[in-house]
Amino acid sequence: MWSTEKHDVTGAPVSPHRGREIRTTLFATLAFAALAVYFTWPSARGLTRDVPWDLGDSLLVMWVLSWDVSKLNELATGHLDVLTRWFDANIFHPAPLTLAYSEHLLPQALTAWPIQALTGNPLLAYQLIFLSTYVLSGLGTYLLVRELTGDRRAAFLAGLLFAFSPYRNSQAAHVQVLSSQWMPFTLYGFTRYLNTGRRPALAWGTAALVAQGLSCGYYLLFFPPVAAFYVLWELARRGRLRDTRAWIDFSVAALVTALVVAPFLVPYARIRTDLQMARSIEEMQLYSADVYSYLTVLDIQRVWGPLLDGYQRAEGQLFPGAIPCLLTLLAVGQLTHRAWRGSLGVPDARPLLSASLLAIAIAALVVALVALFARRLDVTIAGIDLRVSDVRRVLIWSTGAFALLLTQSARARAAMRVLATTETFFLLAIVACWWLSLGPAPTVAGRPVEFPAPYRALTAVPGFDGLRVPARFAMLVMLGLAIASGYAVAALRLRSRQGGLALVTVLSVLFLIEAPVSTFPVNQTGGSQGKEPPEARVYPPGRTPGLYADIAALGPDTVLLELPVGEPNWDIRAVFYSSGHWHRLVNGYSGFFPPHYGALVAGLADPARNEALSWTALRGSQATHVLVHEQAYRAAEAEQIRHWLDTGGARVLRRLGPDVLYEVPR
């Protein structure tokens, strides 16, 4: 039955309370904006000059945004041919399609475009996009949970838990991973459509789904199945699986999403085919979550750092915070109690058998969980030795006992019908995404465990073989925890409306105490591979250091090589500063590296040792100019490089401090 209310363009109802909803939504947005500044302070103090967290992947993201903005500028001036060369970025010359070695970030670039047009400062654009991921993640979750529960205070807490999850601290250098805001907006649009039947709401949800897929390649593959299962769950729960209109509308939405996203996948497919760029199972496993990753935080975490930093691994700081965990457990308890009460009036023909099967299912599940966290279980109870190392077998026992219970007990089936709620879907999604985040071979404290690995099956799906970080399913876990927490708080407020505001306030304050790091890092640099690190800051175009202004004035046929090459700290600077001249660059830094790059780096690693080999590598790179950062080398090494270039016929164009620009003889 469709609603007869009037609705605005987004599908939201126009009611006497609409003004209050707008005011509370605006208040929530402003609160999330203020908290984003607090959560990332002192980053916001240097909006135009500093880089949040580190000068590694953040600089790559800024280069991608600047490249996209430069192409948007060309497109806006009528150069439609730019569409055919968009992915032929200037790094890793002469390799083609080098933008496809990483994320293209077009939705973020559309945000950066007017900012860079007005200010010419990519650092400011990056900072504002970075902060907006927190604000919009909170706002989207707020709108979704308010739609699901009707409780704006519970919705605010849910938005807070998702937007400022401790997991975001470990991903602060990856704006594409932080850009998870479109997931709750997608679910909000779909929920509004299911509640009202208004197609504008579905259109907004579809647009959010497209934006999410184009914002992050991981979420392009991770999130759409969750959204699809959510729609199917809701249609089934509402008894609308035969609703032709809904099926047509969602089919059109899926088709539109595919048509918009597909062209952006073509360059990645070409790279995958031409260069055989796929991740090995071993590499995926290296960046999978460990069971103990969900009990691990960064060592600089304010409250939990000293307690939960014992098991550190790449992409493995996934502890969501105590508040969302406790509230989610409360939601499970509330749902279980509701199911028990809903089954009280249903007779059970075999109560003893039912009780036995339920006890076996629960006991086996508990044993499986204990064995999973301990990697194996070896105890003696009443003289009976209990040894469990194969968690899969125990899970089969639990599942089998539960299935038998459902087949023979009408009361159990009645309880399951009570559990057919939207809340149950998100609880199941938490478990599923947690499970998938463990990757193709689950581990406990770094050691393999006999536990099912559904992610391994996904590696056969096109696209998944190019992803190396299954642990990023954790962001979907954080969203599920936030939504479940919203349900728990909404149920508590129904029981005691008088203390609702105080409850949400206390929970919010406690979370804001436990979630942030002690001091949010700015302009961090990583270790260098035998070279002196560059300066611990970067500069926007117009204030670039060294000889980059001279390089920008060189002719259009310029191909630049910067030395040292192959050292990440220096390569990423070369990539970042190339946005000030856009000449072809031999250096590069990205998620993948072209096949020729390793040989190039090896050939130029030590020119003094084999001058002929190094000149062969230099000429093979097609470089017309070489920029040497002598401060990266010891004095003797810098002198040897000068001698190597001089004897090879390279001509010094200009020297400025420790930087020297050479022209290479043709």
The H helix count followed by the E strand count for the chain is 25, 9
Decide: 167 and 320 in contact? Cβ < 8 Å: yes
Q: Tell me the two tokens of residue 615.
A: 């000149």
Is 60 exceeded by the pLDDT of residue 479? yes
Chain center to CA of 219: 7
Tokens, residue 245: 């209109």
**Domain shared by 360 and 303, yes or no:** no
Token pair in block for residue 622? 């097609």
Find out whether 39 and 515 touch, Cβ atoms under 8 Å. yes
Both ends of the chain: CA-CA distance in Å?
76
Of 392, 408, 424, which closes a domain?
408
Its pTM surpasses 0.75? yes
Is 287 found in the same domain as 213? yes
Report how far residue 21's alpha carbon sits from residue 358's, in angstroms, rounded to the nearest whole number. Answer: 45
Same domain, 125 and 234: yes
Domain assignment of residue 201, yes or no: yes
> Would you say residue 11 has pLDDT above 80?
no
Q: Binning pLDDT at 50, 70 and 90, where does residue 499 land?
A: low
**Residue 448 domain flag:** no
Give pLDDT tens digits for 149-188.
999 999 999 999 999 999 999 999 999 999 999 999 999 9
d(CA 642, CA 498): 77
User: Are the beta carbons of 231 and 38 closer than 8 angstroms?
Assistant: no
Angstrom CA distances, 480 to 331, 425, 485, 542, 645, stand at: 12, 9, 8, 45, 58
Give, in order, the Cα–Cα distances in Å from 619 to each of 506, 522, 551, 562.
66, 39, 19, 14
Min mean pLDDT across 254-258, 385-389, 622-626 is at 385-389
Q: Is the pLDDT of residue 601 over 50?
A: yes
| Same domain membership, residue 321 and residue 353 | no
Q: Count Cα atoms within 13 angstroms, Cβ side, for 496.
A: 9
pLDDT at 4 over 50: no
The answer on 355 and 255 residing in a single domain is no
Q: Is residue 540 part of a domain?
A: no
Q: Is 404 exposed, middle or buried (0-12, 13-18, 19+ CB in 10 A)?
A: middle
Same-domain status, 321 and 353 = no
Residue type, 449: V
Residue 24 belongs to a domain: yes
- pLDDT at residue 496, rounded to an integer: 64
Q: For the residues 206-234, what does the mean pLDDT come to?
A: 98
Do 445 and 376 contact (CB within 8 A), yes or no? no
In a shared domain, residues 208 and 97? yes
Please report whether residue 454 resides in a domain: no
Reported as a single tens digit per residue, the pLDDT across 136-159 is 999 999 999 999 999 999 999 999
CA triplet 254, 255, 261: central angle to 5 degrees? 90
pLDDT tens by residue, 305-331? 999 987 899 999 999 999 999 999 999
All residues at 6 or more sequence positions from 142 whose CB lies less than 8 Å from its CB, including other chains: 25, 28, 32, 152, 155, 156, 158, 159
Is there a single domain that holds both residue 204 and residue 285?
Answer: yes
- Mean pLDDT, residues 18-41 taken together: 94
Torsion of CA 487, 488, 489, 493, to 10 degrees: 100
pLDDT of residue 311: 87
Determine what percent of the chain is predicted with pLDDT higher than 70.
95
Q: Which of 247, 39, 240, 17 is nearest to 146 (CA)?
A: 17
CA atoms within 13 A on the CB side of 462: 7
Q: What does the block give as tokens for 121?
A: 């400062």
Whether residue 179 is found in the same domain as residue 289: yes
Q: Is residue 497 over pLDDT 60? A: no
Lowest-confidence pick of 46-60, 237-251, 267-281: 267-281
Tokens, residue 325:
């965990």
Mean of pLDDT over the chain: 93
Same structural domain, 591 and 646 = yes
Joined tokens for residue 639 = 């002198």
Q: Are 489 and 327 in contact (CB under 8 A)?
A: yes
- Give the C-alpha separation, 238 to 3, whole Å: 15
**Domain-ending residue, one of 376, 393, 408:** 408
Q: Is residue 633 part of a domain?
A: yes
Which pair of structure tokens corresponds to residue 538? 């970067």
- State the Cα–Cα distance between residues 139 and 143, nearest whole angstrom: 6
Quote the CA–CA distance of 121 and 539 in Å, as a whole number: 9
Helix or strand holding residue 24 (H, E): helix 18-39
* pLDDT reported for residue 381: 66
What would the two tokens of residue 459 be?
């590696």
Tokens at 377, concatenated: 């279980």
Query: What does the block give as tokens for 440?
Result: 């193709």
Mean pLDDT confidence for 556-575: 96
Domain identity same for 158 and 302: yes
Structure tokens at 620: 């093979």
Radius of gyration of the chain (CA): 28
Q: What is the distance between the alpha carbons of residues 412 and 418, in angstroms, rounded to a whole number?
A: 10
66 closest CA partner among 23, 109, 16, 26: 109
Query: Which has the higher per-residue pLDDT, 295 or 545?
Result: 295
Could you read off the pLDDT of 428-452 as tens digits, one per residue? 999 999 999 999 999 999 999 989 9
Residue 99 within any structural domain of the chain: yes
Range 75-102 average pLDDT: 97
CA 461 to chain centre: 20
**Tens digits of per-residue pLDDT, 351-389?**
999 999 999 999 999 999 988 888 777 766 666 667 787
- Please report whether residue 615 resides in a domain: yes
Q: Mark residue 412 as left, alpha or beta (left: phi above 0; alpha: psi -120 to 50; beta: remaining).
A: alpha
The four Cα atoms 244, 246, 250, 256 give a dihedral, to 10 degrees, of 80
Question: CB–CB of 163/36 below 8 Å?
Answer: yes
Confidence bin at 528 (pLDDT 50/70/90) = low
Cα separation of 332 and 269, whole Å? 42
Shared-domain flag, residues 606 and 483: no
- Total domain count for the chain? 3
> What domain range is 384 assigned to?
349-408
Out of 363, 378, 408, a domain closes at 408
